[in-house]
Amino acid sequence: METVTVDITDDHLRRLSSSGTPLGAIAELIWNGLDADANEVKVSINRNELGGIISIEVMDNGHGIRRDDAREAFGKLGGSRKSVSDRTPAGRILHGKEGKGRFRAFALGSHIVWRTRYGSDGHTFEYTITGDRRCIRDFQIADQVEGRSRLPGTVVLIEDLVQSPKGLSNPSAARQLTQDLALYLRQYPAVSVMYDGEAVDPRGIEDYVAEYEVSGIEVGGGSAETGILTVIEWTTKTPRHLYLCDSHGFTLDIAKAGIQARGFEFTAYLRSNLFRRLSQDGEPITEINPLVSALADAGRERLRSHFRDRSSQHAADLVKQWKKEEVYPYRDPPTTPTEVVERQAFDVIALAVNEYAPAFQRSPKRTRQLSFQLLREALRSSPAAVEKILRDVLALPVERQEEFARLLHRTSLEAIINASTTLAGRLDFLRGLELLVFDVDNKRDLLERSQLHKIVQDHAWLFGEEYHLSVSDRSLTEVLKAHLKDREIDVSDDEASVTRTDGARALVDLMFSRVMKPRPDEWDYLVVELKRPSVKIDTSVLDQTEGYAMAVASDERFHGVKTRWRFWAVSNEMNERAKAKANQADRPMGQTFKYEQGGVHFEVWAKTWSQILADCRARLDFFQRELNYKVTNDSALDFLRRTHAQYLPDNLRNSQ
């Protein structure tokens, strides 16, 4: 028998032994067995006749602790022999490398005995190591004797329990250990862990597993930290946590999941070398550290995206089931954006009913058919009818009734559908316009006035939400008449005649107007000169557009009110001279001419379709993401054929 004394203060060891939870201390003892290459680890909670816990045993069939290694293993802190390697003798990944796990066992009880057996040179030897919290620095190591069994392993017996260790008898204890050990047990499926008679096996309660790469933002000029996020969805109720793990999957800290994922039980594991580096440097792995915070936030954002996708899949599966049962009130797929939005609104409410009204799920088929038909008709008629069905027929909880009521009272379903339809149409039109002006064959065949002009004139929003079309494909005379009409001045055709400064008659493609807010006596006009996509903007096009501006500037009938005139020349490309004129140091990019006279402001701009379409998409991006509307070439061409078929080139008008 010999006594080994740890060269460190009692206070430090007591703080170490008191850190964590009782279940966390048992997890450390399990890890010790796994690091010894055990294939089986069994935790027994021994109770008296009244059910109180009197002792705890942790048994494993690992390789045991050699007698020659005991002095180093129990006499040093932070000097574990495991620290020289990342692998066990059998090639498994090592969990503990700091030698602190054995001290955490004192969080459970005051008296601890390690009974270990190991093999050497064809013989088996066994001995005991004893520790007591009252002399926490001293361990008694007995002399070894011939083993009574040839099978190696270690049994840790914990007695004189510290009060009654909380949580050890809780039914959720095995599930908590399952979360802690999940990544390891998934990697080594031959390993068996039992806790108080219950298997600790993630495979038995896993529902779905996914893995993603994540990257935090750059902090302090350094490179962004990266990690791997593993999401495990469970079939049983489980506390939601975000485990911060090293690259091998060993937990170093636990953070809040911090997301809403209604209907899912899950655990997330974020693996990164960052957490191991911080642990080795003695730094806390908390979100006070900006590197940890950035990476954890990136993990949570990916987690949200994961459950958005999973919710969509769950909803699709449920709708498929309803269709199979013939209770879903819609038979044919939606064919218009209006029908798509109505269907989405129905699915949202129907899924909530299914989740919050268990009686509905168990009701007869005919009852569910009728309820869904009522709900569909109510959506088409009035919000009040929807509320009544949710309350009286489907018995949805009050808080969910109120949630839908707020939505339906803020705006009618008709308004929601109309707005969504408008947005979907605009997104499809943008994609369709791209196909018209950029596709090699289409832009070659597309005519300026009879096709492109006619298609664009119905979409004033392309050039700004504030504009409405005043004249289309008319002379400057018509432009003047529109301007005077805005000012409530009527003139005859002869009185309104306007020509360019060189005497030529000028035709403009499109003119848009708006009243300048908040002063109604100020006007803003946009004149658009369209060129077919195959024609580049050159100096002659810019001279033509500037000629329109000068004709307006020199005609006093356009004066008398504060007015801003913008003239745009639009096509796919500019030649080099036009580019140079549109990129001058003293002007905004694209502006080629600027002039002011008598309170009237004139500007000429050269614009490409790529610039105009990019601006439109920037305005619509948020709404597209919220609507989750997917634009395809087929949906875009279908929109053009439904709305502008007569103006499309033959190859697009007739293709199916």
Beta strands in 216-331 (DSSP E): 226-234, 241-245, 251-256, 265-271
User: Which amino acid, 205?
Assistant: I
- Tell whether 431 is covered by a domain: no
pLDDT at 85: 62
Domain membership of residue 561 (yes or no) is yes
Helix (H) or strand (E) segment spanning residue 344: helix 337-356
Q: Which of 37, 100, 96 is nearest to 248 (CA)?
A: 96
Determine the Cα–Cα distance for residues 514 and 509; give it in Å rounded to an integer: 17
* pLDDT tens digits, one per residue of 120-147: 888 899 999 998 888 878 889 999 898 8
Say whether both 574 and 514 belong to one domain.
yes
Amino acid at 344: Q
- Cα within 13 Å of Cα(300), Cβ side: 16
A 10 A CB-CB count for 267 gives: 24
Per-residue pLDDT tens over the stretch 205-217? 899 999 999 987 7
Structure confidence at residue 493 (pLDDT): 52
261 within domain boundaries: yes
Q: Are both 220 and 359 inside the same structural domain? A: no
Asked if omega into 383 is within 30° of 0 (cis), the reply is no
Mean pLDDT of the chain: 79
Q: Name the band, by pLDDT with cuts 50, 70 and 90, for residue 432.
A: confident
The DSSP code sequence of 175-191 is: HHHHHHHHHHHHH-TT-
List the Cα angle 199/205/208 in 5-degree steps. 145
Assigned token pair, 23? 């279940």
Domain boundary (287, 311, 335) is at 311
Dist CA 11 CA 26 (whole Å): 22
Does residue 278 sit in the same domain as residue 218?
yes
What is the arithmetic mean of pLDDT over 503-522?
64
Sign of CA dihedral 376, 378, 382, 387: negative
The C-alpha atoms of residue 474 and residue 336 are separated, in whole angstroms, by 35
510 and 361 belong to one structural domain: no
pLDDT exceeds cutoff 90 at 541: no
Determine the distance from the C-alpha atom of residue 526 to the mean position of all C-alpha atoms in its chain, rounded to a whole number: 40
Q: Is 30 helix (H, G, I), strand (E, B) or coil?
A: helix
CA distance 119 to 21: 34
Whole domain around residue 283: which residue ranges?
Answer: 204-311
pLDDT at res. 411: 47
Q: Please, which residues have CB within 8 angstroms of residue 177's CB and are 6 or more apart in sequence?
A: 23, 26, 27, 30, 193, 195, 200
Give 153's pLDDT tier (boundaries 50, 70, 90). very high
Looking at residue 619, its pLDDT comes to 77
pLDDT at residue 498, as a whole number: 47
Q: What's the pLDDT at 37?
A: 92
Asked whether residue 393 carries a pLDDT value surpassing 70, the answer given is no
Q: Are residues 249 and 307 in the same domain?
A: yes
Which pLDDT band, with edges at 50, 70 and 90, does 656 fall under? very low
Note whether residue 185 is domain-resident.
Answer: no
Q: 559 and 599 in contact (C-beta within 8 Å)?
A: yes
Task: Write down the pLDDT at residue 303.
Answer: 93
Same domain assignment for residues 29 and 96: yes
Q: 478 lies in a domain?
A: yes
Does one domain contain both 373 and 490?
Answer: no
Residues 38 and 144 in one domain: yes
The mean pLDDT value for 178-207 works out to 90
Place of tokens 């033509």: 544
Task: Report yes or no on 186 lying in a domain.
Answer: no
Q: Is residue 367 part of a domain?
A: yes
Same domain, 621 and 523: yes
Which residues have CB under 8 Å from 276's CB, separation 6+?
246, 247, 252
Q: Is 64 left (phi over 0), alpha (psi -120 to 50) or beta?
A: left
Q: What is the CATH number of the domain that holds 457?
A: 3.40.1350.10
Q: Based on the fold, state whether residues 530 and 567 are members of the same structural domain.
A: yes
What pLDDT sits at residue 10?
Answer: 60
Mean pLDDT of 359-371: 77
Q: What percent of the chain has pLDDT over 70?
A: 75
End-to-end C-alpha distance for the chain, whole angstroms: 91
Give the three-class secondary structure for 5. Answer: strand
User: For residue 131, what is the enclosing H or E element?
Assistant: strand 123-132
Q: pLDDT of 603-641, one tens digit each?
A: 899 999 888 888 888 877 766 665 666 778 887 888 888
Asked if residue 563 and residue 603 are part of one domain, the reply reads yes
- pLDDT(651) > 90: no
Nearest in space to 308 (alpha carbons), one of 316, 320, 319: 316
499 pLDDT higher than 70: no
Count of domains observed in the chain? 4
Residue 653 lies in a domain: no
For residues 573 and 494, membership in a common domain is answered with yes
Poorest-pLDDT segment among 35-39, 533-537, 620-624? 620-624
- Region of 190 (left: φ > 0; alpha: ψ -120 to 50; beta: rest) is alpha
Determine the Cα–Cα distance for residues 534 and 542; give it in Å rounded to an integer.
16
Confidence tier at 56 by pLDDT (50, 70, 90): very high
Between 389 and 529, name the one with better pLDDT. 529
DSSP letters spanning 520-577: TT-EEEEEEEE--TTSPB-HHHHHHHHHHHHHHHH-GGG-SS-EEEEEEEEES-B-HH
Nearest to 255 by CA among 266, 269, 265, 238: 269
Average confidence (pLDDT) over 92-116: 80
